[in-house]
Amino acid sequence: MNKEQLMESARSMKERAYAPYSKFPVGAALLLKDGTVINGVNVENVSLGATNCAERTAIFTAIANGYKKGDLQAIAVAGDTADFLPPCSICRQVLAEFCLPDMPVYLTNEKKEILELTLKDLLPFAFTDLEM
């Protein structure tokens, strides 16, 4: 699957988001090493701390389906923004837990342009496993 197809999968998910408070739907598409794509959406809660982002929804679903650290190959994130929409800091940390630093991260904007970064580009000083 190429980055355009993965991004289209993320874009198509936005309509399924549960965003009654922010009115800001986000979709994510996570490519796994076996070619499977798992999608996610943001799911809000009136208690904002209980809100879950689209990226984490997709990652947690992958883990619940038996995928493990290193199985995640790429992620696309889509929202309706003028600039490219990056994962929040919590999502970046979760990505650092389950993905390799050179994993592609695709971001888009309302013009449907795609920016390709790596996880290391987004989180250059990731907090990861510490060897003691």
| Binding site feature residues | 53, 88, 91
CB 14, CB 25: distance < 8 Å: yes
- SS3 (DSSP) at 110: coil
Determine the Cα angle at 28 with ends 24 and 32, to 5°: 170
Determine the Cα angle at 51 with ends 13 and 46, to 5°: 115
22 bridge partner residues: none
Q: Is 55 in the active site? A: yes
Tell me which residue has tokens 């999502």. 91
Question: Which residue is catalytic, options 55, 97, 110, 116?
Answer: 55
Residues 6+ apart with CB under 8 A from 129: none
Please enumerate, by residue number, every residue annotated as part of a binding site for Zn(2+): 53, 88, 91
The set of catalytic residues is 55
